[in-house]
Structure 1
């Protein structure tokens, strides 16, 4: 082989080696890019915050502040001999709405003695029943209820009877009530449900149509003007 041919052959081999080296480097670089995790500049704190169920539930009721709705008894089992709710108009009125408390009078005909009181607590929500006489003085059986046993949902919250209420019931001869659990359901613009249940099968449910407001009733007894 001539000197020129040998030089050409050597040059060709050198170029091939360089090309192979470049290809290998490119393949390695692409492999590294494919295996490396994608970097995100998004801060996790930028994600929209999830509203806690008790807060969403409270807000859903508060959205109806100032409005009143007619109700109907959907369950009253076993049927009592003399139900105070039979054949009487039932109206709930979302009357007072603070940041941490909502007061909802429940009118049964001309009886304006009942007000449901929903309150925020450090752990969730609390339901109490404020019962008054016609002159506004507290009934012997009043301020009973309990705290929500769990976070519940944005639609339903349950409130087992608390120890103070048990003492009140026993002091007033209402032993059956010491196992009460109350519940409230709210489906915005559809329905509001108040419920009382017991393990012995007692179930009372009254449902209010949120799609049809009614004129606001007078103030509850003891509730001012």
Structure 2
């Protein structure tokens, strides 16, 4: 059996074994993301369009690389910078997204492990993660951040969208390769 099929079966079994989350959109999203294990998505930032933005003109790559029953790691590469990994974790309280930033030698960046919990109002194709207290303390300006990660129904497009203070701050659109 393929790794993705095993993961999908384990995710389904986990959802069935936990009636409180059996129909939870966060579980459905986690299972959909897990079913893409091994997939690579490439694209670019589409907002902001400012040429001075740190991501402007750089190839963006997200690889659904490590998939377990409770955690999925997605390295996010910006040009040659491989310092970022998105970590999606299924917890007793829901679904969490953390941004793990590392230096080239593997040591944690000063600003790392920020993120938040999914609101639960999403769907199998999109979840919004609201900044948690740790994020607000680490990066006070990010206290109102909402990160929305979307997957197209066919699994060919991944969108990462960041809002701050209710306004768009960053958006990347990536296509499956």
TM-score, normalization: structure 2? 0.81
Task: Give the total of aligned pairs.
Answer: 155
Q: Which SS does the other structure have where 2:98 is aligned?
A: strand
Contact residue 72 and residue 89 of structure 2 kept, 8 A: yes
Contact residue 103 and residue 116 of structure 1 kept, 8 A: yes
1:162 aligned residue: 132
Q: Which has the larger radius of gyration?
A: 1
- Which stretch shifts more, 194-203 or 182-191? 194-203
C-alpha distance in structure 1 between counterparts of 2:53 and 2:96, whole Å = 27
C-alpha distance in structure 1 between counterparts of 2:171 and 2:42, whole Å = 14
The structure with more strand, counted as a fraction of residues? 2
Cα deviation for residue 97 of structure 1 reads 0.2
Extract unaligned runs of 5+ from structure 2.
1-21
Contact residue 92 and residue 107 of structure 1 kept, 8 A: yes
Contact residue 67 and residue 94 of structure 1 kept, 8 A: yes
Extract unaligned runs of 5+ from structure 1.
1-49, 214-225
The structure with more helix, counted as a fraction of residues? 1
2:74 aligned with 1:74, yes or no? no
C-alpha distance in structure 2 between counterparts of 1:115 and 1:158, whole Å = 17
Pairing 1:77-92 to 2, within 5 Å after superposition: 79=50, 82-92=52-62
2:174 aligned with 1:208, yes or no? yes
Contact residue 124 and residue 151 of structure 1 kept, 8 A: no
Question: Which stretches of structure 1, 4 residues or longer, exceed 2 Å deviation after superposition?
Answer: 199-203
2:105 aligned with 1:139, yes or no? no
Q: Which SS does the other structure have where 2:30 is aligned?
A: helix
Write the deviation string for residues 46-66 of structure 1: whole angstroms up to 9, x where unpaired.
xxxx74311111111111111
1:55 aligned residue: 27
C-alpha distance in structure 2 between counterparts of 1:82 and 1:169, whole Å = 22
1:183 aligned residue: 148
Cα deviation for residue 89 of structure 1 reads 1.2
**Residues 1:192 and 1:59: Cα distance change in structure 2 (over 3 Å):** same
C-alpha distance in structure 2 between counterparts of 1:181 and 1:147, whole Å = 9
TM-score, normalization: structure 1? 0.65
Cα deviation for residue 195 of structure 1 reads 1.0
Please, what is the CA RMSD of the aligned residues? 1.7
C-alpha distance in structure 2 between counterparts of 1:70 and 1:145, whole Å = 22
